[in-house]
Amino acid sequence: MCHANRMILFLVAAIVTITMFAAQAHAQDNPYRIEEGWAQLPEGRKWGATIGVDIDRDGNIWAFERCGGTLDPSGKVLRMFGEGMFNQPHGFHIDRDGNIWATDATGKDGKGHQVFKFNPEGKVLMTLGKAGVAGDGPDTFNRPCDVVTAPNGDIFVADGHGGNSNARIVKFSKDGKFIKT
């Protein structure tokens, strides 16, 4: 075997060895573990498609899960709301004040293409967009897929989800007034 081939073989072996040690060290430092059966859903209720998970300021875990709800840190369901409200639940965010934000990325049957702000009890506090109406104006969305709020309360919506939808970020003031795209 020529010198060049031995060097290449040595380098490959060294990279593999270093990678294995790094992976092993990382695995030992990982403080997380799977805890099967942790979430205690109501009798007969099974997990569906989980769109997002966030933690509120009280340590409760909110799951946007096709009519999901909030769980206390032990996994017990505290509250569920929103059933029948969404066509395609997609974006999910808990703001600094504990309000829940969610997007509906598909319009049909007079609903969708909207962003909702809920209080922790499930009351709708604000709605952005027009129910079931796709558009690219200051008061319409076309498949909004996520939402987040800034520390000052400004609202940012990722509007568009491929295909014939929009491809933009829309900024609103904390009271829902359009600022820019």
Q: How far is CA 89 from CA 13, 50, 94, 120, in A?
A: 47, 9, 15, 17
What CATH number is given to the structural domain containing 76?
2.120.10.30
Query: What is residue 13's predicted lDDT score, i.e. its pLDDT?
Result: 59
pLDDT tens-digit series, residues 51-91: 778 888 888 888 777 655 567 777 788 788 888 888 888 88
pLDDT digits (tens, 9 = 90+) for 103-159: 999 999 999 999 999 999 999 999 999 999 999 999 999 999 999 999 999 999 999
Which residue segment(s) compose the domain that 141 sits in? Answer: 52-180
- What average pLDDT does range 7-11 have in this prediction? 57
Residue whose token pair is 């709800």? 69
Q: CA–CA separation, 161 vs 16, rounded Å?
A: 39
Distance (Å, whole) CA 170 – CA 160:
10
C-alpha 104, offset from chain centre: 12
> How do strand 61-64 and strand 69-71 relate by DSSP bridges?
antiparallel
Average confidence score pLDDT of the chain = 83
Residues 58 and 99 in one domain: yes
Q: Is the pLDDT score of 19 beyond 70?
A: no
The answer as to whether 140 is a domain residue is yes
Structure tokens, 115: 């962003």
Placement of tokens 């294995």 in the chain: 20
Q: What predicted TM-score, i.e. pTM, was given to this entire model?
A: 0.74
